[in-house]
Amino acid sequence: MTSDLHLSGPTVTLFGQRDALDEALSDELGRRGCSTHVVTTPMGWLGSVGHAVVRLDTPTGDQALTDLSLRNAPAAHIVAVCENTVGEATSMRLEQLCRQCSQHHDLSLIWHAPLALGLDDAPDGVVPGDLAVTIADEIGHQEAWTSAPSFVSQTFEAHRHRGHG
């Protein structure tokens, strides 16, 4: 977690579980001048959040976005992230939840393959650092957000970060 008081970027709240992806994301955002605040307990949406990464495949992230969909909160920039192995019914529910939140917020949804847990998994799994760069890029794009709510969904393709075809 970054604690430098001279950071130029926004504070980004990470609703997740403090795993390899959250650590890589904190590091990447810190390099870009952002500070991070990690929430690992399912407590719902925090009203003071202006920029967030919501890990929908964690109880904390799912609860945060569900709570946000039920309340009137100030507009926020949100990058929702989820493994694409959650099943069709869950995928449909999460996408609908994201679309509902995007009626008042700037929301990007990034689907990804399972995370690589070690070097042996790297050829088939997503390297957390590579995904963190894409998430941080998306947060950077949201910096230019006007006031219009929006929704975009994309699939993270790990091979383009490894120089494969």
Query: Is residue 39 a part of any domain in this protein?
Result: yes
CB 24 within 8 A of CB 132: yes
pTM of the predicted structure, to 2 decimals = 0.87
Q: Which amino acid is at 132?
A: A
**Residue 25: CB partners within 8 Å, gap ≥ 6?**
14, 36, 53, 128, 132, 135, 136
Query: Is residue 4 a part of any domain in this protein?
Result: no
Q: Which amino acid is at 109?
A: L
Query: Is residue 6 a part of any domain in this protein?
Result: no
pLDDT at residue 145 in the model: 57
pLDDT at residue 7 in the model: 55
Instruction: Per-residue pLDDT tens, the chain, 165 aa: give them.
Output: 444 444 577 899 999 999 999 999 999 999 999 999 999 999 999 999 999 999 999 999 999 999 999 999 999 999 999 999 889 999 999 999 999 999 999 999 999 999 887 655 555 678 999 999 999 999 887 666 566 789 999 999 875 544 443
pLDDT at residue 114 in the model: 92
- How many domains does the chain divide into? 1
CB 101 within 8 A of CB 68: yes
pLDDT at residue 143 in the model: 61
Per-residue pLDDT tens for 119-154?
555 556 789 999 999 999 998 876 665 667 899 999
Query: Is residue 30 a part of any domain in this protein?
Result: yes
Query: Is residue 142 a part of any domain in this protein?
Result: yes
CB 148: neighbour CB atoms within 10 A? 7
Where residue 96 sits, what CATH number does that domain have?
A: 3.40.50.720
Query: Is residue 1 a part of any domain in this protein?
Result: no
> What percent of the chain is predicted at pLDDT more than 90?
73
What is the four-CA torsion angle of 114, 94, 80, 68, rounded to 10 degrees?
Answer: -150
Query: Is residue 71 a part of any domain in this protein?
Result: yes
Structure tokens at 56: 């929908």
